[in-house]
Amino acid sequence: VTHGAEVYAFVIGTGLIRTSEEHLGWQVVSNGFGANYILHLAAAPTRAQQLYVATVDPATHTQAILVSPDGGAHWVKLGVE
């Protein structure tokens, strides 16, 4: 997913990574997804740092939607527990 001058990707075993289109130097943004994989990643069109992900646990097939207000450093689960 690209947002402005940033590119985000999810790498299994590493986590969410980001790079600037100018520098192309990848850095780990967040690896706190445990065994979950990111299926979908979206950036809010009007808030550069607000990201949304849909995750799945491959063992249990449990899915969740998470939001990050700070570019992926911290995540909060959306919905009811």
Q: What is the pLDDT of residues 7-55, one digit of tens each?
A: 889 998 899 999 887 777 899 999 888 889 999 999 888 887 899 999 9
Residue 8's pLDDT is what? 87
Query: Residue 3 in contact with residue 20, Cβ under 8 Å?
Result: no
Residue 34's pLDDT is what? 86
pTM, entire model: 0.82
Query: Residue 28 in contact with residue 17, Cβ under 8 Å?
Result: yes
| Residue from 30, 34, 78 nearest 57 by CA | 34
Residue 6 or residue 15, greater confidence: 15
Q: What is the pLDDT of residues 48-71, one digit of tens each?
A: 789 999 999 999 999 999 999 999
Contacts of 16 by beta carbon, 8 Å cutoff, 6+ apart: 8, 9, 10, 28, 29, 30, 31, 33, 38, 41, 53, 72
